[in-house]
Every structure is written in structure tokens, then in C-alpha cells.
């Protein structure tokens, strides 16, 4: 793809010095447009994508501030450099306030103008890269990470959009592998704290005492205090996964932190102020844990006022094609492999599986299939793990209902046969007892080509 050249609009009456300036700028490899007055500048801005603007701040036929406003409306990142013979300080300040990059005294040397434009354009490119990276982060960790069109996942996305901008504590409930951590990161990305820290503590990964110290920090005589995740997340978001595993003392410490907005280290002598947005997740029934006196009811009340329930994968089978496409795209990039997708037979098998490990199990399955499959083509039934191949259904009977037309029955038979042979048309034609050319005609006829 050819990279678009930088376009600079010069707004100045046509003169020998102006033509020399244009020749100089074009010598830097830039595309230059000349506008001799305000009207020509407005036409140039409307017609071309402008990266930079060089303009008189004020002259009889040029209102530099009005040109600046027009340019910023069309391209908010435009690098606007003004020149003026005797720039009035209030006018120069107003130009900078409205978004000008710099105001230079006239006559400005070509080297001075070049240095100013170069710095501005480099800043512009960096800003555009930041915007692009923000978009990538949003796709990976924001709402875009919640892949699917099912009603269940749309409800989750809607909840994230509503609660993200608030500072409310959120409880995410769902089976293992449903994507609770993805939702936690998406909430963080939707919040005003998105530029601050996001810390994740898996509360069931180690013994209860170590988890408590990891979250709240600790102090010991003769040693430097150790900061916990709560203090490190000051100004940002703390995500406590598997919160049902917290010890009674950790639950009490967390309740005080939520009520008083400060944290007390293990072994510490006093509270420490910490502004933290808390998100917690569980795959257990916390209400039952309260009944069994394994979880504090007052803590459940504090963390459970806003709840998001993650649907298991078996309840969102219609999202399977989108999930497979997203995972394969990410995995192919990660493993430097090329893959076209999965065959219809594989997709049918993926849809039929109950996925006790949910979305995480699906991703792991696709990764295993990808690394053992030949590159450059679709993943086939042969690359499925044994557990999915072993569940291959026996050849059965096609269900045909009274009232179906012959065409509808034939279409259903062709679809089922193609799925059975993993999309291989010669085998399908052989099973159907028709020629390959006849099969292609029927595929065209029924819109299956």
C-alpha cells in the first residue's frame, strides 16, 4: 500500500517569496496547495485532506483564525503555523488557544519554518499512533473483546457500558472460563481510570494468608513495608478473582477498605488512603456461602449491589462462528501461521459440544488444532482433539417434516451430506448418487455455492 504524502496548505497571496516557499516545501517531499485568499483556502480545505497549514495570521484578504477553525473542523489534528509581521500578543494567544501549533514572526526563515512544521507533524504522527493503539486496546480489552451477537452477551455488553463510567463496585458471576476477567478489563477500559493501573489478584491461587498480604501489603518490625495490590492500584482498578476464597480476616479488611476508602496492611499500625475501583468475580453461589457462614453477608451486600452474570458457552451457540474467527485470527498471529478458518464439519462439531470449560476451553482447543494442522488451509475434522472426535455421531436419518416441499427436503439433504463429509464436494456427490456437475448446479440453485 502506498503511503499518502503529507499535504500542506499555504494561505498567502501569490508572490515571488510565496513561490519560493512552495518550492522549498515541495523539496522536502511534501505536497503543497496554494490559496491566495480566505475563499480559496476554504475550498482547499473542503476538497483536500490537509495535514498542515501555513497562513498569515491577519491580512486584508485573509482571516487566519477563521481559516484555522475551518481546518480544525475538517482535521482536528492539523498542524497550523501562523506568520505575522508584528504579531499582537492577544491575537497570537487566541490563535494558540484555538489550536494553532505556533506563531512565527514574519519574515520567518525557511529553516525555522521547516523545523516548526517537522516537530508539529512528528507530534501529529505520534498522536495518531496513540489513537490507533487505544483502538487496539479497546478491541482487545474493551467492549470489542466481548465477541458475539447473542442476546446473553449483548446484555453483558450493555451492563459494561452502563457501569463502566461509574465508580461502583461490580460483582461478576459465572462458571469457570466464561470470560469474567475479560469483562473486568472492559469495565476498566470504559471508566475514567482507563489510563491508570489495572491489577488482578487470583484469590484462589495460593494460601489465604499469602493472598491477604498480596492484596493489602504487610509490615514487619525491622523490615521495609511491602505494598499490596490495593495500594498499587491507587487511582485505578483492582480485580479480585475467585473472591469466595478470601479468609475471614481478609473479608473484614476488604469491607473496611470499601467503607472507609483506605487500606490497612497486615501487621500495620494505621490506615492508608487509597482511591480504588473494586471489581470482584466468583464462580460460586455467594448467597449459599453466607448461609454456610463462609462469607460475610455485609461484604456480599457491599460488593453485590451491581452484578453481571456471564453466560456459559453452551447457552450462546450462535456466537460460535464469531468466537472461532476471532480466536483463530489472534492465534494465527501469535503462532505465525496462516489458516482460513474451520470446515463446516468442524463447526458443526464445535456447536454440538457442551464446553464445560467454556470460552477458555474453546480457545485452547483451537490452539491445539492450529499447531498440529498444515498451514494455509481450513482446520479439518482430523485435527480435532480425541474427545471431540470420539463423540462423532453415527450416520442417522434426516428429519423431513410433512408440508416441506421437495426442494426444501433436497436442500436439507445436500446440506447435511456436505457437513457429514466436511465440505468435500466429490464425496458428497458420490454419497448422493449424483454427478459432481449436477451437485454444483444444485448448490447454485439453492444458494449454497
Looking at per-residue confidence, does 437 or 3 come out higher? 437
**Helix or strand (DSSP H, E) at 11:** strand 7-11
Residues in the chain: 449
Compute the average pLDDT of residues 247-251: 94
**Lookup result for grid cell 485435527:** 383
Name the CATH superfamily, with its identifier, for domain 144-310: P-loop containing nucleotide triphosphate hydrolases (3.40.50.300)
CA-based nearest residue to 330, from 136, 124, 161: 136
Provide the pLDDT confidence category of residue 409 given band limits of 50, 70 and 90: confident
Domains 7-134 and 406-445 share a fold: no
The x, y and z cell numbers of residue 276, run together, are 480504588
Query: Are the beta carbons of 171 and 304 closer than 8 angstroms?
Result: yes
For Cα atoms 40, 42, 46, give the angle at the middle one, nearest 5 degrees. Answer: 115
Q: Which segment of 8-22, 60-74, 125-139, 393-407 scores lowest on mean pLDDT?
A: 125-139
Give the pLDDT confidence score for residue 405 in this predicted structure: 76
Query: In the chain, where are the structural domains located?
Result: 7-134, 144-310, 314-389, 406-445
* Mean predicted lDDT score pLDDT of the chain: 84
Domain 314-389 CATH class label? mainly alpha
Rounded to whole angstroms, the maximal C-alpha distance in the chain is 90
Beta-ladder partners of 198: 237
Residues 419 and 405: beta-carbon distance below 8 Å = no
CA distance between the termini of the chain: 32
Q: How far apart are CA 303 and CA 171, in angstroms?
A: 6
For residues 210 and 386, which has the higher predicted lDDT (pLDDT)? 210
CATH domain 406-445 topology: Arc Repressor Mutant, subunit A (1.10.10)
SS3 102: strand
- CA distances from residue 184 to 145, 156, 353, 391 in whole angstroms, order as listed: 11, 11, 27, 35
Residue 86's pLDDT is: 65
Find the DSSP H helices in 353-405.
358-372, 386-389
Nearest to 165 by CA among 136, 186, 134: 186
Q: How far is residue 241 from each of residues 205, 250, 277, measured CA to CA in Å?
A: 10, 14, 14
Q: Count Cβ atoms below 10 Å from residue 353 Cβ, excluding itself.
A: 18
Return the sign of the alpha-carbon dihedral for residues 142, 145, 149, 151: negative
* Residues 125-153, mean pLDDT to the nearest whole number: 64
pLDDT at 144: 53
Q: Is this prediction's pTM over 0.75?
A: no
What pLDDT shows up at residue 394? 45
Domain 7-134, architecture per CATH: 3-Layer(aba) Sandwich (3.40)
Tens digit of pLDDT for each residue in 329-375? 888 888 888 888 888 778 888 888 889 999 899 999 999 999 888 77
Residue 16 binned pLDDT confidence (cut-offs 50, 70, 90):
confident
pLDDT in tens, 181-230: 999 999 998 999 988 989 999 998 778 888 898 999 888 887 888 888 99
Q: What is the pLDDT of residue 137?
A: 45
Amino acid at each position: 500500500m502506498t503511503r499518502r504524502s503529507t499535504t500542506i496548505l499555504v494561505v498567502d497571496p501569490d508572490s515571488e517569496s510565496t513561490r519560493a516557499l512552495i518550492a522549498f516545501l515541495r523539496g522536502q517531499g511534501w505536497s503543497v496547495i496554494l490559496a491566495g485568499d480566505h475563499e480559496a483556502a476554504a475550498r482547499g480545505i473542503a476538497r483536500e485532506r490537509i495535514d498542515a497549514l501555513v497562513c498569515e495570521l491577519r491580512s486584508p484578504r485573509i482571516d487566519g483564525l477563521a481559516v484555522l477553525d475551518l481546518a480544525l473542523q475538517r482535521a482536528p489534528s492539523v498542524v497550523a503555523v501562523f506568520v505575522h509581521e508584528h504579531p499582537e500578543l492577544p491575537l497570537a494567544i487566541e490563535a494558540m488557544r484555538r489550536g494553532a501549533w505556533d506563531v512565527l514572526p514574519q519574515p520567518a526563515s525557511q529553516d525555522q519554518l521547516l523545523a516548526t512544521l517537522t516537530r508539529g507533524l512528528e507530534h501529529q504522527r505520534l498522536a495518531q499512533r496513540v489513537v490507533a493503539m487505544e483502538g487496539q486496546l479497546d478491541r482487545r480489552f474493551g467492549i470489542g473483546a466481548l465477541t458475539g451477537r447473542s442476546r446473553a452477551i449483548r446484555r453483558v455488553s450493555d451492563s459494561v457500558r452502563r457501569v463502566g463510567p461509574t465508580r461502583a463496585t461490580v460483582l461478576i458471576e459465572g462458571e469457570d472460563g466464561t470470560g469474567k476477567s475479560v469483562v473486568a478489563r472492559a469495565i476498566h477500559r470504559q471508566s475514567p481510570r482507563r489510563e491508570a493501573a489495572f491489577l488482578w489478584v487470583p484469590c484462589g491461587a495460593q494460601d489465604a494468608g499469602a493472598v491477604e498480604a498480596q492484596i493489602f501489603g504487610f509490615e514487619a518490625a525491622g523490615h521495609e513495608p511491602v505494598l499490596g495490590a490495593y495500594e498499587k492500584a491507587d487511582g485505578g482498578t483492582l480485580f479480585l478473582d475467585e473472591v469466595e476464597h478470601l479468609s475471614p480476616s481478609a473479608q473484614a479488611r476488604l469491607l473496611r477498605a470499601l467503607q472507609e476508602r483506605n487500606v490497612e496492611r497486615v501487621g500495620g499500625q494505621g490506615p492508608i488512603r487509597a482511591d480504588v475501583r473494586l471489581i470482584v468475580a466468583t464462580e460460586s453461589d455467594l448467597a449459599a456461602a453466607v448461609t454456610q457462614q463462609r462469607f460475610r453477608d455485609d461484604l456480599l451486600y457491599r460488593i453485590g449491589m451491581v452484578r453481571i452474570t456471564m453466560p456459559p458457552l453452551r447457552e450462546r451457540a450462535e456466537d460460535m462462528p464469531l468466537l472461532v474467527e476471532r480466536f483463530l485470527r489472534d492465534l494465527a498471529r501469535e503462532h505465525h501461521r496462516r489458516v482460513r478458518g474451520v470446515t463446516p464439519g468442524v463447526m458443526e462439531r464445535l456447536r454440538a459440544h457442551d464446553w464445560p470449560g467454556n470460552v477458555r476451553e474453546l480457545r485452547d482447543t483451537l490452539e491445539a488444532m492450529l499447531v498440529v494442522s498444515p498451514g494455509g488451509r481450513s482446520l479439518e475434522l482430523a485435527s480435532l482433539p480425541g474427545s471431540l472426535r470420539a463423540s462423532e455421531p453415527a450416520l442417522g436419518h434426516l428429519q423431513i417434516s410433512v408440508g416441506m416441499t421437495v426442494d426444501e427436503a433436497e436442500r436439507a439433504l445436500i446440506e447435511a451430506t456436505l457437513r457429514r463429509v466436511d465440505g468435500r464436494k466429490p464425496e458428497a456427490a458420490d454419497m448422493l448418487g449424483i454427478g459432481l456437475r449436477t451437485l454444483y448446479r444444485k448448490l447454485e440453485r439453492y444458494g449454497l455455492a
